[in-house]
Chains A and B, each alone.
Chain A
Amino acid sequence: MPSLFLPDWKALAEAHRVELPEAALERLRDISRTLLGLRGMLDWGEEPAAIFRVDASEPEPHP
């Protein structure tokens, strides 16, 4: 299922008016799947995340 991290490459290509062969679309799917998995390796303690924190369990703040 397409998501922010796993886009629908075929739809994206069509939106850009680009025709890609199935092998190219499959390669893009492979890459995005691998990148999604790798995001776990990112150091989310790096700035700015080390300073600006969000606790998802707390209610959304209102300005």
Chain B
Amino acid sequence: MTIAEAAAALRRREISSVELTLDCLARIEKWNPELNAFLTVTAETALEQARAADAEFASGLDRGPLHGIPIAHKDLFCTRGVRTTGGSKTFAGFIPEFDAAVVERLRNAGAVMVGKTNLHEHAYGITSENPHYGPVRNPWDPARSPGGSSGGSAVAVATGMALGATGTDTGGSIRVPASWCGITGLKPTFGRVSKFGVLPLGYTLDHMGPMALTVRDTALLFEAMAGHDPRDSSSVDRPVPHCLPPEGAISLKGVRIGLPRNFFFERIERDVDAAVYFMAYTAEDLGAELERMRVPDGDQLNALAHTTLLVEAAAVHEPYYRKRRSTYGEDVRTLLDMGRLIPAVDYVQAQRLRRRILGVFLDILKKVDALLVPATPMTAPLLGQKEVEIRGQMEDTRLAATRLTRGINLLGLPALSLPAGLSSAGLPVGCQLIGRPWEEPLLLRIGAALEARTGFARRPPRFA
């Protein structure tokens, strides 16, 4: 069941929030031992919240489409009275006294929290192979990574352990797991969703966003999460537009979609290439105009993004790292050490170059409404796989996984990742739509049109 379907069923009194929550809890009990998507399950408080939602419905109080809907939070979001580990040993015992802004907003919208999801340690990695809590496993093939860092959230949604989830994206951490688990995820425009109460990783790169089975569900979560928050200095005071795409078939007449000739379609698996082109031709069939174009070099953009992240993450973790270095896993330790070595001048020049490249992208996005590109160059790798072979070339798995997403964080542009079908091996392929700042509603509309035509939003067969 999707959020939209559950919301409709709740209002028809065909199901209660308690029943929805019990179903999610039963799925967690059955599948979490194998998939390791949750670090903390809050069954008791979830049922309390669900009972309260049912009582509110009975009294005529309706908080909107998320009222009574079971969701999960990535364990990077502070939750009052509930352990928030950041997937780390460093914060293994941390129990916040307040909710993150996003948690607060979703709670006020009536959502029921079933638990906190597993992630790559400190959200600093893309595979969700957590050295302290064990790896999250991909529901399409448990021998494979679900992607990360929001891996637990993606798995929870894909398997129906929760109907929606929160994620964070600093270099692809919503879009990569969404892609590898066959679900939808939105990295909003920088400043759109408050970062207050979320353990940071990269001050100028972190984005909070929703993950759900369908584009429509993603829109519902996004509308509730977004909005100005003075407690986050980078939060922008702009009204949140109506984002929910219409139901059923949607025309894309008048929509211009750019297909980059360079970088995004170079060095990607053949199945990924075919799947994303299928989505492009589907968009054309729905009335969109396709335009092939050149974009700034992605490898250069990634170098700037990497410089920025390495330095910012080292700065974020400085106080903890000094006191508790031994609590960090080996891969995160290496990245934090690398960040401490980068000259400050390089960081500053990277920020100057960032502004210039953003200008080029904004010019491109005057000519087209969105870019359609793969979310990742390949489908989910095996857990423990250090290198992947793409078109005959060996590449570091972590660098390959984020190659097509990382640069978009540097630019702060909104990007929607959605399913583009299955590879010949039966693994999900994801594509992403990249748009102009603040134009999430258009991306969601294009995504919903593609989803309605292709029908690719589905759970892995075992979990249907």
Task: Note all chain A residues with C-beta closer than 8 A to B338.
Answer: 20, 24, 27-28
Query: Could you tell me which residues of chain A, from 4 to 20, have a CB within 8 Å of some CB in chain B?
Result: 7, 9, 12-13, 16, 18-20
Tell whether, in the assembled complex, residue B306 and residue A43 are in contact, meaning their CB atoms are under 8 Å apart. Answer: no
CB of A61, distance to nearest CB on chain B (Å)? 24
A12 CA / B343 CA spacing, docked (Å): 11
Tell whether, in the assembled complex, residue A35 and residue B307 are in contact, meaning their CB atoms are under 8 Å apart. Answer: yes
Stretch in contact with the other chain, from B46-54, B191-199, B349-357: B349-357
Residue B464, interface by CB 8 Å: no
Tell whether, in the assembled complex, residue B349 and residue A43 are in contact, meaning their CB atoms are under 8 Å apart. Answer: no
Given contacts A9-B341, A18-B337, A18-B340, contact A38 B304 (CB under 8 A): yes
Tell whether, in the assembled complex, residue A20 and residue B337 are in contact, meaning their CB atoms are under 8 Å apart. Answer: yes
B interface residue numbers (CB < 8 A to A):
299-300, 303-304, 306-307, 334-335, 337-338, 340-343, 346, 349-350, 352-353, 356-357, 396, 399
Tell whether, in the assembled complex, residue B350 and residue A35 are in contact, meaning their CB atoms are under 8 Å apart. Answer: yes
Tell whether, in the assembled complex, residue A31 and residue B334 are in contact, meaning their CB atoms are under 8 Å apart. Answer: no
Given contacts A27-B338, A31-B303, A37-B300, contact A7 B343 (CB under 8 A): yes
CB of B139, distance to nearest CB on chain A (Å)? 30
A interface residue numbers (CB < 8 A to B):
7, 9, 12-13, 16, 18-21, 23-24, 27-28, 30-32, 34-35, 37-39, 41-43, 46
Task: Note all chain A residues with C-beta closer than 8 A to B299.
Answer: 34
Tell whether, in the assembled complex, residue A38 and residue B346 are in contact, meaning their CB atoms are under 8 Å apart. Answer: no
A27 CA / B305 CA spacing, docked (Å): 13
Tell whether, in the assembled complex, residue A20 and residue B346 are in contact, meaning their CB atoms are under 8 Å apart. Answer: no
Tell whether, in the assembled complex, residue B352 and residue A42 are in contact, meaning their CB atoms are under 8 Å apart. Answer: yes
Tell whether, in the assembled complex, residue A28 and residue B341 are in contact, meaning their CB atoms are under 8 Å apart. Answer: yes
CB of A16, distance to nearest CB on chain B (Å)? 6
Tell whether, in the assembled complex, residue A31 and residue B306 are in contact, meaning their CB atoms are under 8 Å apart. Answer: yes
Given contacts A38-B353, A42-B353, contact A13 B303 (CB under 8 A): no
A18 CA / B337 CA spacing, docked (Å): 7
Nearest opposing residue in chain B for A13, CB measure:
B341
CB of B290, distance to nearest CB on chain A (Å)? 29
Tell whether, in the assembled complex, residue B353 and residue A41 are in contact, meaning their CB atoms are under 8 Å apart. Answer: yes
Task: Note all chain A residues with C-beta closer than 8 A to B343.
Answer: 7
CB of B46, distance to nearest CB on chain A (Å)? 42
Tell whether, in the assembled complex, residue A23 and residue B353 are in contact, meaning their CB atoms are under 8 Å apart. Answer: no
Task: Note all chain A residues with C-beta closer than 8 A to B340.
Answer: 16, 18
A41 CA / B356 CA spacing, docked (Å): 8
Tell whether, in the assembled complex, residue A21 and residue B334 are in contact, meaning their CB atoms are under 8 Å apart. Answer: yes
A41 CA / B304 CA spacing, docked (Å): 13
Task: Note all chain A residues with C-beta closer than 8 A to B353.
Answer: 38, 41-42
User: Which of B300, B334, B335, B341 is within 8 Å of A16, CB to CB?
Assistant: B341
The 3 closest A-B pairs by CB, nearest first: A34-B303, A18-B337, A31-B303
Given contacts A21-B334, A28-B341, contact A38 B396 (CB under 8 A): no
CB of B313, distance to nearest CB on chain A (Å)? 14
A26 CA / B371 CA spacing, docked (Å): 32
CB of B172, distance to nearest CB on chain A (Å)? 17
Tell whether, in the assembled complex, residue B346 and residue A13 are in contact, meaning their CB atoms are under 8 Å apart. Answer: no
Task: Note all chain A residues with C-beta closer than 8 A to B352.
Answer: 42-43, 46
Task: Note all chain A residues with C-beta closer than 8 A to B337.
Answer: 13, 16, 18-20, 24
